[in-house]
Amino acid sequence: MDSSAADTQTAGNLAEPDRVRTLLAEARAAGVASLDAQLLLGALTGRDRAHLIAFDEHEVAAPTAALYRANLRRRAAGEPLGYITGVREFWSLPLSIAPGVLVPRPETELLVERCLALFDAAPRRIADLGTGSLAIAAALARERPAWTVIATDRSDRALEIAALNRQRLRLSSIQLRQGSWCEALGEETFDAILSNPPYVAPEDPALAALGFEPQEALVAADEGFADLFAIAAAARRHLREGGMLLLEHGATQAGRLAAELVRLGYARVVCHRDPAGRDRVTEAQR
């Protein structure tokens, strides 16, 4: 082969287009899960996972492939998928997500499940404290259109994202208010108060993998109990007689939280486990 032919072959190799299968293979080499890689590429191409898998020989435009590789590096570094794609699904709702708000977890859906199980579809007043991206409030409002849901947060950034999701999902029954826990509730009372507050202890080694998310939405003093206890104490005067308090917490916190709820005068204190079998949501009645 003469030199000109070799140069032509080299140029042809350099111009070889990126294909779905090669891009997904790069993800595996980078240590990124296949599901995450498919979601990253799908977000850029507008194709769902089934299409990417079925047509993995399809070419991907060079600018798209370059952005995908940049996003792949971000994911490999531990950045949450929702921050990279800008979307996280919760209760089958596509929520806009951005740095500054906690990424909704599947286990938090248990809070929604329990509230729906406790109350029928008749008009109710519900408060979601520390709403973040609006995940819990949005799920409740979608399932119970007659309910009025008050969603509070002290963070300006969280309320911006929450307002965006309320508008995108057309959930006009949700009211947004700024304040820490019950501060934004005034003198109002509710049928139920829900919260997924910070409950990770400051020294918990799990925090090492959560560095991209707002620490104020994760970490609480007193071994993770400070905010749980503060909400439990303040919520009593905002719950109607027979109203329910529902709190998400860590897998080892149920016993101490239950004891505090009993001490505060709550009745019917019950803990529920998430799909992984871990203690996750405790409910109590005023």
Residue 268: CB partners within 8 Å, gap ≥ 6? 283, 284, 285
Question: What integer pLDDT is reported at residue 236 of this predicted model?
Answer: 96
pLDDT (tens digit, 9 = 90+) per residue, 38-71?
999 999 999 998 999 999 899 999 999 999 999 9
| Residue 173: predicted pLDDT | 93
> What mean pLDDT value characterizes the chain?
93
Q: pLDDT confidence of 15, banded at 50, 70, 90? A: low
pLDDT in tens, 33-46: 999 999 999 999 99
Average pLDDT over residues 239-249: 97
Q: Is the pLDDT of residue 252 over 70?
A: yes
Q: What is the pLDDT of residue 4?
A: 45
Mean pLDDT confidence for 125-139:
98
pLDDT of residue 8: 41
Nearest 10 degrees: Cα torsion 50, 79, 177, 95: -10
What is d(CA 157, CA 168) in angstroms, rounded to the nearest whole number? 17
Percentage above 90 pLDDT, the chain: 90
d(CA 206, CA 226): 18
pLDDT at 271 exceeding the cut of 80 = yes
Specify the pLDDT at position 10. 41
Instruction: Count CB atoms within 10 A of the CB of residue 100.
Output: 18
213 touches 207 (CB < 8 A): no
Residue 14: which pLDDT band, with cuts at 50, 70 and 90? low
Q: How far, CA to CA in Å, does 154 sit from each of 140, 205, 250?
A: 21, 26, 22
Taken in order of first residue, the domains within the chain and their CATH numbers are 3-77 (1.10.8), 87-285 (3.40.50.150)
Query: Is 223's pLDDT higher than 90?
Result: yes
Q: What is the pLDDT of residue 16?
A: 75
In the predicted model, what is the mean pLDDT of residues 91-117?
96
Nearest to 147 by CA among 109, 118, 168: 118
**What six digits make up the tokens of 219?**
């970490």
pLDDT tier at 28 (50, 70, 90 boundaries)? confident
Angle at CA of residue 226, ends 282 and 265, nearest 5°: 50
Q: Is residue 13 predicted with pLDDT exceeding 90?
A: no
pLDDT, position 6: 44
